[in-house]
Structure 1
Amino acid sequence: MAELLRNLQDSRLVARFQRRCGLFPAPDEGPREKGAARPPGAEHLSAAHGPGGGAPANGLQRVAAPQTYVQKYIVKNYFYYYLFRFSAALGQEEFYITFLPFTHWNINPYLSRRLIVIWVLVMYIGQVAKDILKWPRPFSPPVVRLEKRVMAEYGMPSTHAMAATAISFTFLISTMDTYQYPFVLGLMVAAVFSTLVCLSRLYTGMHTVLDVLAGILFTAVLIALTYPAWTLIDCLDSASPLFPVCAIVVPFILCYNYPTSEYYSPTRADTTTILAAGAGVTIGFWINHFFQLVSEPTESLPGIYSIPPLTTDMLGLGLAKFSVGIVLTILVRQLVQNLSLQVLFSWFKVVTRNKEARRRLEIEVPYKFVTYTSVGICATTFVPMLHRFLGLL
């Protein structure tokens, strides 16, 4: 078993997958320059280079703070290149922060709430596991790395694989007994979506095979363990008038006590964003229930409902609702973020617009938590109210 795990974590396995898909490192044209920019007119694209060109990982080991170098690469198969770059984008937090509100405004608020709860749970566990295990990403060379932002994060498990698996199969499980559609077709869509995102993590050189398989396995176990409690979770927003206090305090404590790292990485900030958005959505549903500001969310009632045909009017209405919602949430996000940063900078006597100061624990966690909690409340409460006012419901 130990030998199998070492083989699955071997960077050369990822490199072989990249070569089969037509992605190759460019010939070495001289010493690498740390932080070097891509020269104008260069024929090859740029990517992040790993820790000092280290050797492939042959054991289960930890890694120190990664170095970021510019590396050139050659694409010989653009079909796979664009397919997996697009698939990688489907695994980013930005996609889910867009898709989940769309589900709430245009499909079913009940379904959206369940998806958000499961997404928050698996992402928090995955992010924390990364900073506890501290396992390395694939080494470069031999792997070509195509992303820079997450280079400062550890690799195990792949949270992209976790999020894609959780969203796709939670969506399938939550709708198969409510809406009328071929189960096999739904299963195929869920499997294809999650598989493409998982393979994209290998193609972009950001995860080993072991990272991806672990992410899928962790998610499967979490879904199996939490599934019996899904109905109970759906009712929590009406359980008690004090529920919002718990929904805010517990996630904030989890963010503020996030595992420390030897160097700064965006993992804590991303985790705070996810937990805060989940807290905001939970509070939004509580507000809707106790103050009856918007219609009650559609519950999972016995019976099968036909999916209405997609017409031009329905498409236009959905686009209008989504556009109105996104504009309002972006305005709220920008306003609350600016105000919270101003207050925190003033409180801690920090120079305004100091980007480095934003990374301090006492500033980063509060401003992101307040900002995205407000976004979650806005998306679930004020946006539907605006839809009703505009006659879009």
Structure 2
Amino acid sequence: MWGVISYLNSPELVVGFQRCCGLVPRERDSVITQNRRVNANGSDPVTIQRRRAEQVSNGTSRAHDSNSNYKSASSQCEHKDRPRPHYEVRNWLFYFLFVISANLGHEVFYITFLPCIHWNLDPFLCRRLVNVWAVVMYIGQVMKDILKLPRPTSPPVVKLETRVDAEYGLPSTHAMAATAISFTLLLSAHERVKFPFELGLVVAVVLSALVCLSRLYTGMHSVLDVICGVVISAVIMAASYPFWGTVDFFQLHSPVSPFVALALPLFLSYKYPELDHYTTTRGDTTIILACSAGCSVGYWVNERLGLTFDLAGPFPVTLPPLTLAAVGFGVARFLVGLAMLVLTRQTVRWASLRVLCWIYGASVSDVDARRRKEIEVPYKFSTYVAIGLVNSIMVNRVFVMMGLWDLGNSV
């Protein structure tokens, strides 16, 4: 068994997949990088990276030196120690396919796709997706920082992403989110809307598989990371599926629902596992929990106001034909809604950062200060709770005011 696990965790499997898809390191850069793998004191690049991140986290990094020339030199030295990955693309079809697929697991996708389901299809489906997504992602992120298993080493793996390189690897939260979103949407939509279930199943499998394979192509995860992500997500969904309806009823009708929806995610964000170096996992997890909290409160408020914008039954309903006018209204709703969310994000983020930095005597432009838990957690939580509230309460009402929504389709 251990031999199988070691094999699935081998970077050589990732390298083989990348080569089959036409992603290879440039020969000269590969030799140079290989020669730099071990420095004079025998430290490997991952150790160097973790040590540097730990120094920044503890406030002992030379990057805090006020001498701008020294900081510039330090930055150049760091760039020299960690050269950006150099690679050659020999199959551009696979490159664009997997790079686009990888973006289906980033914030830009979540902040557009999930609200788009709310605005153009059924708020019920958005609510169900956000609930499952938040649970799955929190468990996956916490497991990463408890298990502390490294990502595939480079070289030999070619890495196309740098933002999350300091994070740990197992499980792949991209694989977890893709599996959860695809199959939660399939199972929930089947209750609400008439469509060929077999076709939906094929689409769910293909989309989740593309995201999983993209993590190998971009060099960010091993095969073991991806398999574990899919399995963990499937287990969570199977265990929670019988309770989806119960959670939905509590979320909409319980008088304590908004307090639980805000207090529990905020508590979990503050109690996120501490690491000896800074990574983006705590901030990303706070964003996910905050979006879920804001949406949950918003749906509860809609229920109190008597207008939820849900599809009108009996279920499953038959969707109207997809006409050119319907597409035009859908695009208009998407653009207006997205503009409102972006404006909310920029406004609340700007205000919350300045208030918190003023309270703690920090500079808004100080990146390390923004990474401190007492600043990072509340500013990201308040920002994305506001986004969840605007998405669930305000956007559809603006659509009605602008004539972009037909109240005859809602309850």
After superposition, the C-alpha distances for 1:82-123 in whole angstroms (9 at most, x for unaligned) are 111111112223212210000001000001100010111111
Q: CA deviation at 1:183?
A: 1.4
Q: Which residue of 1 aligns with 2:237?
A: 223
TM score, norm. by length of structure 2? 0.85
Q: Which residue of 1 aligns with 2:45?
A: 52
Q: Is the Cα contact below 8 Å between 2:258 and 2:300 reproduced in 1? A: yes
Do residues 384 (structure 1) and 393 (structure 2) align?
no
Paired residue secondary structure (2:397): helix
Q: CA deviation at 1:341?
A: 1.0
Do residues 282 (structure 1) and 296 (structure 2) align?
yes
Rounded to whole Å, the distance in 2 between the matches of 1:191 and 1:274 is: 24
Q: In 2 relative to 1, CA 247–295 (structure 1 residues): closer, same or farther, beyond 3 Å?
A: closer
Q: Is the Cα contact below 8 Å between 2:33 and 2:155 reproduced in 1? A: no
TM score, norm. by length of structure 1? 0.89
Rounded to whole Å, the distance in 2 between the matches of 1:385 and 1:150 is: 37
Determine what percentage of the aligned residue pairs are the same residue: 48
Unaligned runs of 5+ in 1: 34-49, 55-62
Q: Is the Cα contact below 8 Å between 2:122 and 2:309 reproduced in 1? A: no
Q: In 2 relative to 1, CA 129–351 (structure 1 residues): closer, same or farther, beyond 3 Å?
A: same
Unaligned runs of 5+ in 2: 35-42, 54-80, 406-411
Q: Is the Cα contact below 8 Å between 2:299 and 2:308 reproduced in 1? A: no
Q: Which residue of 1 aligns with 2:139?
A: 125
Paired residue secondary structure (1:24): strand
Rounded to whole Å, the distance in 1 between the matches of 2:100 and 2:334 is: 22
Do residues 295 (structure 1) and 334 (structure 2) align?
no
Do residues 314 (structure 1) and 307 (structure 2) align?
no
Rounded to whole Å, the distance in 2 between the matches of 1:77 and 1:53 is: 29
Q: Which residue of 2 aligns with 1:263?
A: 277
Q: Is the Cα contact below 8 Å between 2:265 and 2:290 reproduced in 1? A: yes
Q: Which residue of 2 aligns with 1:362?
A: 374
Q: Which residue of 2 aligns with 1:304?
A: 316
Choose 327-336 or 189-198, whichever is displaced more. Answer: 327-336
Q: Is the Cα contact below 8 Å between 2:98 and 2:210 reproduced in 1? A: yes
RMSD: 2.0
Rounded to whole Å, the distance in 1 between the matches of 2:297 and 2:208 is: 30
Q: Which residue of 1 aligns with 2:64?
A: none
Do residues 348 (structure 1) and 363 (structure 2) align?
no
Q: Which residue of 1 aligns with 2:125?
A: 111
Q: CA deviation at 1:31?
A: 4.3
Rounded to whole Å, the distance in 1 between the matches of 2:361 and 2:145 is: 30
Rounded to whole Å, the distance in 2 between the matches of 1:303 and 1:244 is: 28
Q: Is the Cα contact below 8 Å between 2:364 and 2:370 reproduced in 1? A: no
Q: In 2 relative to 1, CA 314–345 (structure 1 residues): closer, same or farther, beyond 3 Å?
A: same
Q: Which residue of 1 aligns with 2:11?
A: 11
Between structures 1 and 2, the one with greater helix share:
2
Rounded to whole Å, the distance in 2 between the matches of 1:5 and 1:345 is: 46
Q: Is the Cα contact below 8 Å between 1:51 and 1:140 reproduced in 2? A: no
Q: Which residue of 2 aligns with 1:272?
A: 286
Residue type at the aligned position of 2:257: F
Paired residue secondary structure (1:260): coil
Residue type at the aligned position of 2:182: S
Q: Which residue of 1 aligns with 2:152?
A: 138
Q: Which residue of 1 aligns with 2:170?
A: 156
Q: CA deviation at 1:296?
A: 5.0
Paired residue secondary structure (2:85): strand
Paired residue secondary structure (1:141): coil
Q: Is the Cα contact below 8 Å between 2:14 and 2:219 reproduced in 1? A: yes
Q: Which residue of 2 aligns with 1:373?
A: 385
Q: Which residue of 2 aligns with 1:331?
A: 343
TM alignment of 1:193-204, pairs within 5 A: 193-204=207-218
